[in-house]
Structure 1
Amino acid sequence: MDVSPDAPKPTAKEIAARYRNEIVHGDREPGSRLPAARQLARELGVQLMTVQNAYGQLREEGLVLSQQGRGTFVRDPATPLGTEPGSSPAFAALAAELSSIHDALRHLDERMERLEQAVGRDAVPEQ
């Protein structure tokens, strides 16, 4: 991003796109810390809220985690969403809901298997 005084100030969407691209292309390793929001805002010449909104977008997408007093870190994609400290509450709720759906599907699969076995035992061979 161009940070010269004459350059237009980046929007939260543009800042998020920059870090999203770096994360997706492996330029930022899982666990690595993004720049402090205040520092980045100063460097880019934007309001702190702009950087906070950009980091919020990345957090909502599940790409980063924020830990109060520590900073914002690239999330490890191998760890299930919503299970890490600093996860988005939306992802925590989604993870819980997906877990319950998975359990329900497993129970339905077991019931279906038992039904198929019962029908198979009682089936009359075709002639």
Structure 2
Amino acid sequence: MDQSPEAPKQPPTAKDIAAEFRAKITGPDSTYDPGDRLPAARTLAKERHVQLMTVQSAYSQLRDEGLVLSQQGRGTFVRDPAAPLGTQPGSSPAYTALAAELSTIHDALRVLGERLDRLERLVGSENPQSP
């Protein structure tokens, strides 16, 4: 059944709000640059006639995608894509944990590489090859 133009419009879902701001952040006609603050969740909820949790859920989706950072008491900001994920305050906890784990792996690989170099030098000095 078709809705008439006079039918009340449904309020946006968290998914709708996240899609709108995703386009405003990453789209060809983006209106938000890295470091820009998104509208306050309470203000946006009032403007869109939705519950505060709806906007918070939308912002959480964007944070989980690595597009924004949330800072308690300050707001939600567009993340600088040049900065590694999980390294900025307000990053998604998943990205922060991943960044810490990757750093640990990187350090372990560096140590293993140094040990391999020492072993290769040691083996090379014990077994000189004749030309």
Taking structure 1 as the reference length, the TM-score comes to 0.80
Matched residue, 1:74: 78
Q: CA deviation at 1:5?
A: 7.6
Q: RMSD in angstroms over aligned alpha carbons? A: 2.4
Distance 1:87 1:95 in 2: 10
1:16 partner amino acid = A
Matches within 5 A, 1:83-122: 83-121=87-125, 122=127
Given candidates 7, 14, 17, the residue that maps to 2:16 is 14
Which runs of 5 or more residues in structure 1 are unaligned? Answer: none
Q: CA deviation at 1:79?
A: 2.0
Distance 1:78 1:58 in 2: 17
Identity across the alignment (%): 66
Which runs of 5 or more residues in structure 2 are unaligned? Answer: 1-5
Matched, 1:37 2:24: no
SS at match of 2:70: strand
Q: CA deviation at 1:72?
A: 0.7
Moved more, 82-91 or 50-59: 82-91
Q: CA deviation at 1:105?
A: 1.2
Q: CA deviation at 1:95?
A: 1.3
Q: Give the count of matched residue pairs.
A: 123
Q: Which has the larger radius of gyration?
A: 2
Matched residue, 2:3: none
2:19 partner amino acid = A
Taking structure 2 as the reference length, the TM-score comes to 0.78
